[in-house]
Amino acid sequence: MRAVPDAIQRMIERHGADAVCATLAPMLTPERIARIDGVLAARLASVITVVEDTYDPHNAAATIRTTEALGLAELHVVQPEARFSAAGGVTRGAHKWIELVRWQRPEDAAAALHGRGFRVWATSPAATASIDDISVDAPTAIAFGNEHAGLSASAIAACDGLVRLPMYGFSESYNLSVTVALAMSRIAARRREHLGRLGDLPDDRRATLRARWFALKIRGAIGVLERALG
């Protein structure tokens, strides 16, 4: 379930990413363009965070920020009751730079990811297998559950297996957003090592994202594009 295209997306679809970039580039400093290109080069599209029915907006926001900061491209949110909302200040704007994909049913999220070649792993403190033992030779998505109930039975059934983050203390589980940070940083590092490079965005996706990020960095970019490109 992709988001409805916004004004920037419509501009890119109508005129092409290269024309959008060429129009906006003179309004950006070389340093800013280099920063955008550096982040794009490190974007890891083959590792995806999935969260189901998050309750606390601070956890949701921290999950968005961590996912973006690790250089991942997508966060999938399963929200049967349309509950997922992020505490504004905590994301520090990170929500603008990642693709948030919303689902109502975990089965649909897992099926779509499987269709794209991903393995999808559920997490639970009660699992016996460790996240450190899963193979990252395929694109990998990791699913995290609600703060109180954990992942739903249907989400666990739709995944390829259940894994735990090692714990050695008295606490019975990690905080949700802490688990996301621990798990995704391990998996992203292992996947990057497997690939032998930081990022793996396909060329067409990188070009589209570059145009989008150029537009996001410029106040009034849509007006500029309308005047220049129609």
Ligand X SMILES: C[S@@+](CC[C@H](N)C(=O)[O-])C[C@H]1O[C@@H](n2cnc3c(N)ncnc32)[C@H](O)[C@@H]1O
Termini Cα distance of the chain: 29
User: What token pair was written down for 220?
Assistant: 């009034």
Contact between 120 and 159 under an 8 Å Cβ cutoff? The reply is yes
Q: For ligand X, give the closer residue by CB, 85 or 226.
A: 85
CA–CA dist 142, 131 (Å, integer): 9
Give the one residue of 153, 167, 198, 228 binding ligand X; rule: CB under 6 A.
Answer: 167
DSSP-derived 3-state class of residue 55: coil
**Residue keyed to tokens 């802490």:** 178
Q: How far is the CB of 129 from ligand X (least distance, A)?
A: 10
Give the one residue of 9, 79, 124, 154 binding ligand X; rule: CB under 6 A.
Answer: 124
How many residues touch ligand X under the rule CB under 6 A: the total is 16
Using CB under 6 A as the binding rule, whether residue 165 contacts ligand X is answered as: yes
Using CB under 6 A as the binding rule, whether residue 106 contacts ligand X is answered as: no
Q: Please state, as a whole number, how many other Cβ atoms lie within 10 Å of the Cβ of residue 11.
A: 24
User: What token pair was written down for 156?
Assistant: 């666990």
Give the one residue of 81, 89, 126, 170 binding ligand X; rule: CB under 6 A.
Answer: 126
Give the one residue of 147, 154, 218, 229 binding ligand X; rule: CB under 6 A.
Answer: 147
User: What token pair was written down for 73?
Assistant: 């491209």
Q: How far is the CB of 53 from ligand X (least distance, A)?
A: 10
* Binding-site ranges for ligand X (CB under 6 A): 123-126, 144-145, 147, 150-151, 164-165, 167, 173-174, 176, 179
